[in-house]
């Protein structure tokens, strides 16, 4: 029997309710492959500025951001800019990569992006959002979606107005991070606001912000009625969240296995030196709550063979079937 999709984005079916957030510097081809293996249901590219797509040649750095693996579907290509025509031109250029969906980033809060009216800097410009979505949904064959925040600051939380504008102008899905631009990552994400947005629009809504455990996925869904949940920071070094496995319940052997696999994917994709260097930020997160691991050696090696040897030593020092929650105990037992 054919599996029923949980929801559709335009005519693109989505088969799960936990989705890896777009994260520049993290949600690249290798990490997306791992998260998908654990159950992440839809993927976004890291965001790309429209300007990078409008020149004769797309710079290698951005080409890499637009890269996907065969079979990686649904794949959402995310762009940002502050001009409707440029956003359309950039989206058209992306057709070369055969996207399933085009997403407009209206959530990035960095000064460089939002300060020039792109990212969350679009939210105080409802007319620009209206024009952009009208243009893109008229001219593109693929669905167009938006990722927003609550608004600019506590006095301008206009997500309901923007949500309705998006829907009326052809957006096929809205993802919302429950914070304002001014909050950046401070305070707590407002899940009540996600519930309000879900009530106000009829297109699917993805809730985002502060989902840290598998239980939180279900809590956010129950609290907001959202169609799916997007997980960012808590998924770094923790792809198991997509399989709804609690980190404390993992055995150390499973973590080492994922580290080995992820490192190998990085090396295959970026080459040995660059792959291992770029893997370091992930590695710190994988081993963040595991005491007494000699991380320095793993972090400094530029040889994949040596990395494998060091990782093997970690593996033999710690019994593979110990759960993280019991690790401290087991390590002190070993060194006694
Ligand atoms: C390192 C980093 C990079 C990010 N890059 C992007 C991006 O390229 N596009 C985007 O829409 N959001 C980006 N975000 C925001 C996340 O997608 C997400 O909205 C935010 O982290 C809140 O979710 P969380 O509480 O689950 O982390 C980024 C976040 C982080 C931490």
List, for residues 22-42, the tens digit of each pLDDT value. 999 999 999 999 999 999 999
Are the C-beta atoms of residues 204 and 9 closer than 8 Å to each other? yes
| 107 pocket-lining for ligand 1 (C-beta < 6 Å) | yes
| 6 pocket-lining for ligand 1 (C-beta < 6 Å) | no
Give the count of domains, the chain.
Answer: 2
Regarding whether 219 and 110 lie in a shared domain, the answer is yes
- Identify whether 2 is part of a domain: no
What is the predicted pLDDT for the residue at 291? 77
* Residue owning tokens 């939210």: 123
Regarding whether 115 and 157 lie in a shared domain, the answer is yes
Regarding whether 237 and 307 lie in a shared domain, the answer is no
Tell me the CA–centroid distance for residue 233 and ligand 1, in Å. Answer: 7
pLDDT digits (tens, 9 = 90+) for 172-217: 999 999 999 999 999 999 999 999 999 999 999 999 999 999 999 9
Regarding whether 173 and 54 lie in a shared domain, the answer is yes
Out of 243, 278, 295, pick the residue that ends a domain. Answer: 243
Out of 243, 260, 278, pick the residue that ends a domain. Answer: 243
Question: Cα(6)–Cα(38) distance, rounded to whole angstroms?
Answer: 17
CATH number reported for the structural domain that contains residue 208 in this entry: 3.20.20.70
What is the predicted pLDDT for the residue at 168? 98
Nearest alpha carbon to residue 211 among 198, 228, 199, 195:
228
Give Cα separations from 184 to 86, 114, 152, 160 (angstroms): 26, 11, 10, 19
Regarding whether 310 and 161 lie in a shared domain, the answer is no
Regarding whether 293 and 319 lie in a shared domain, the answer is yes
Nearest-atom number in ligand 1 for the CA of 210 is 25
Out of 212, 243, 274, pick the residue that ends a domain. Answer: 243
The protein residue whose alpha carbon is closest to atom 20 in ligand 1 is 232
| 36 pocket-lining for ligand 1 (C-beta < 6 Å) | no
What is the predicted pLDDT for the residue at 334? 41
| 146 pocket-lining for ligand 1 (C-beta < 6 Å) | no
Regarding whether 266 and 303 lie in a shared domain, the answer is yes
Regarding whether 89 and 160 lie in a shared domain, the answer is yes
Are the C-beta atoms of residues 138 and 170 closer than 8 Å to each other? yes
Domain that holds residue 268: 247-335
Pick out the chain residues at pLDDT < 70.
1, 327-336
The mean of the pLDDT values for the chain is 94
Tell me the CA–centroid distance for residue 207 and ligand 1, in Å. Answer: 13
- Identify whether 235 is part of a domain: yes
What is the predicted pLDDT for the residue at 144? 98
- Identify whether 96 is part of a domain: yes
Regarding whether 90 and 194 lie in a shared domain, the answer is yes
Regarding whether 251 and 237 lie in a shared domain, the answer is no
Regarding whether 211 and 168 lie in a shared domain, the answer is yes
The protein residue whose alpha carbon is closest to atom 5 in ligand 1 is 23
- Tell me the whole-structure pTM to 2 decimals: 0.95
| 191 pocket-lining for ligand 1 (C-beta < 6 Å) | no
- Identify whether 110 is part of a domain: yes
Question: Cα(106)–Cα(268) distance, rounded to whole angstroms?
Answer: 33
Catalytic residue annotation:
108
The protein residue whose alpha carbon is closest to atom 22 in ligand 1 is 209
- Identify whether 1 is part of a domain: no
Regarding whether 159 and 188 lie in a shared domain, the answer is yes
- Identify whether 149 is part of a domain: yes
């Amino acid at each position: 029997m054919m599996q029923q999709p949980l929801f559709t984005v335009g005519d693109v079916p989505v088969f799960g309710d936990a989705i890896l957030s777009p994260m520049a510097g993290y949600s690249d081809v290798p990490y997306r492959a791992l998260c998908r293996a654990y159950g992440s249901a839809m993927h976004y590219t890291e965001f790309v500025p429209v300007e990078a797509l409008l020149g004769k040649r797309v710079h290698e750095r951005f080409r890499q951001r637009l890269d996907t693996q065969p079979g990686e579907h649904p794949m959402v290509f995310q762009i940002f800019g502050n001009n409707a025509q440029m956003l359309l031109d950039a989206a058209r250029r992306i057709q070369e990569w055969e996207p399933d969906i085009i997403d407009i980033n209206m959530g990035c809060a960095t000064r460089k992006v939002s300060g020039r009216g792109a990212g969350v800097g679009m939210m105080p410009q409802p007319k620009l959002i209206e024009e952009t979505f009208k243009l893109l949904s008229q001219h593109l064959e693929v669905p167009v979606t938006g990722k927003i925040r609550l608004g600019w600051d506590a006095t301008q939380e206009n997500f309901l107005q923007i949500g309705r504008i998006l829907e009326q102008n052809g957006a096929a899905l809205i993802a919302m991070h429950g914070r304002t631009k001014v909050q950046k990552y401070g305070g707590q994400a407002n899940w009540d606001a996600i519930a309000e947005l879900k009530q106000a629009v009829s297109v699917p809504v993805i809730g985002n912000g502060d989902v840290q455990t598998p239980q939180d996925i279900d809590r956010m869904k129950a609290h907001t009625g959202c169609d799916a949940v997007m997980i960012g920071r808590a998924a770094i070094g923790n792809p198991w969240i997509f399989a709804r496995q609690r980190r404390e319940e993992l055995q150390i052997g499973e973590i080492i296995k994922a580290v080995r696999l992820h490192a190998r994917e990085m090396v295959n994709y970026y080459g040995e030196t660059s792959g291992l260097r770029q893997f370091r930020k992930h590695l710190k997160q994988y081993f963040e709550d595991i005491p007494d691991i000699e991380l320095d050696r793993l972090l400094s090696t530029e040889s994949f063979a040596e990395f494998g040897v060091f990782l093997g030593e970690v593996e033999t020092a710690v019994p593979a079937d110990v759960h993280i929650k019991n690790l401290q105990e087991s390590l002190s037992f070993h060194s006694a």
